[in-house]
């Protein structure tokens, strides 16, 4: 899914969380949102995810303005991963992955797809485990599988590695990036981790509710080698 913010402003009493932000994200691209605490990263994710509304300006998804009437349908088409994993403690890993599609009619075999995703995140053997029986990294893997169960065109991740040690965090990011690439999912990750950001296609930096830099990440040397000797 492509995303466009046009002149988006979001205010709270005494605070302008976002100040006339323009941002165009192409379909299938991974973008890191960086910047200090309070810069507006989560606000951007919430507006794009249809969990919050701008005071002025527009959010467009695939060229269509996100209006109040479209919010519910929109939220069902995207995936979220949060800093705190937000798994339901009484449900197994498998059932947690199934939660978003339980109340809905879908055109695929839910359980088969949930198992496929648990396998993709390396947890096929732990499908019956409760969250309390899983490590933090494993819980976040379940959350990643859950975010992908409805085949989202857009994945929003708000500091998905914030509660994990750096090695485990790295694994989660690699997983998010490889799965989103495999499924052609557009991805937006809010992160304080510059190494995480460097692995995305693009880095957008926010400060005080404004975009202060926006850069494409150069592909790593090994990627260029794989593309066939493009290096001089």
Beta strand 64-65 with 56-61 is antiparallel
Q: CA 161 to CA 77: how far, in whole Å?
A: 23
The reply to whether 37 sits near ligand ATP by the rule CB under 6 A is: yes
Q: Is residue 54 within the footprint of ligand ATP (CB under 6 A)?
A: no
User: Residue 34, interface with Mg ion (CB under 5 A)?
Assistant: no
Stretch that binds ligand ATP, among 39-47, 91-99, 113-121, 216-224 (CB under 6 A): 39-47
The residue (of 12 and 167) whose beta carbon lies closer to ligand ATP is 12
Instruction: Out of 4, 30, 34, 42, name the contact with Mg ion by CB under 5 A.
Output: 42
- List of residues 6+ apart from 216 with CB closer than 8 A: 201, 202
What does the longest C-alpha to C-alpha distance in the chain come to? 57
Q: Which of 1, 5, 8, 17 forms a contact with ligand ATP (CB under 6 A)? A: 17
The side-by-side arrangement of strands in the sheet containing 186-190 is 78-81, 154-158, 186-190, 30-34, 202-207, 210-216
Could you say whether residue 125 binds ligand ATP (CB under 6 A)? no
Residue 38 contact, options ligand ATP, Mg ion, none, Cβ 5-8 Å cut-off depending on partner type: ligand ATP
List the single partner that 145 binds among ligand ATP, Mg ion, none, CB under 5 to 8 Å by kind.
none
And the tokens for 11? Answer: 């205010």
Q: Please report whether residue 39 would count as binding ligand ATP according to CB under 6 A.
A: yes
How far is residue 63's CA from residue 104's CA, in Å, rounded to a whole number?
A: 26
Query: Each residue of 207-222: b (16+ CB within 10 Å) or e?
Result: eebebeeeeeeeeeee
- Of 39 and 93, the one with the shorter C-beta distance to Mg ion is 39
Shorter beta-carbon distance to ligand ATP: residue 95 or 193: 193
Is residue 161 a contact residue for ligand ATP (CB under 6 A)? Answer: no
Report d(CA 76, CA 54) in Å as an integer: 20
Among 2, 28, 38, 57, binds ligand ATP (CB under 6 A): 38
Query: Of 13 and 229, which CB lies nearer to ligand ATP in the complex structure?
Result: 13
Binding range to ligand ATP, per CB under 6 A, among 32-40, 53-61, 108-116, 165-173: 32-40
* Binding flag, residue 140, Mg ion (CB under 5 A): no
CB of 78 to ligand ATP, least distance (A): 18
Long-range contacts of 120-127 (CB under 8 A, 24+ apart): 120/145, 120/179, 121/145, 121/175, 121/179, 123/93, 126/93, 127/92, 127/93, 127/94
Catalog residues that contact Mg ion under the rule CB under 5 A: 41-42
């Amino acid at each position: 899914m492509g995303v466009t913010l046009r002149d988006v402003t979001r205010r709270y009493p005494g605070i302008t969380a976002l100040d006339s932000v323009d941002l165009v994200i192409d379909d299938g691209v991974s973008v890191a949102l960086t910047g200090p605490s309070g810069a507006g990263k989560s606000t951007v994710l919430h507006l794009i995810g249809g969990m919050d509304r701008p005071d002025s300006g527009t959010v467009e998804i695939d060229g269509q303005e996100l209006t109040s009437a479209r919010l519910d349908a929109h939220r069902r088409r995207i995936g979220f991963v949060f800093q705190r994993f937000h798994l339901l403690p009484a449900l197994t890993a498998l059932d947690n992955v199934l939660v978003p599609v339980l109340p809905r009619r879908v055109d695929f075999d839910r359980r088969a797809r949930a198992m496929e995703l648990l396998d993709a995140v390396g947890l096929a053997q732990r499908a019956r485990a409760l969250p309390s029986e899983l490590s933090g990294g494993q819980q976040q893997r379940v959350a990643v599988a859950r975010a992908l169960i409805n085949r989202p065109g857009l994945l929003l991740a708000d500091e998905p590695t914030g509660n994990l040690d750096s090695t485990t965090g790295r694994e989660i990011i690699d997983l998010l990036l490889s799965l989103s690439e495999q499924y052609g999912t557009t991805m937006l990750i809010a992160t304080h981790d510059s190494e995480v950001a460097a692995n995305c296609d693009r880095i957008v930096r926010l400060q005080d509710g404004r975009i202060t830099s926006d850069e494409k990440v150069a592909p790593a040397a090994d990627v260029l080698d794989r593309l066939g000797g493009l290096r001089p």
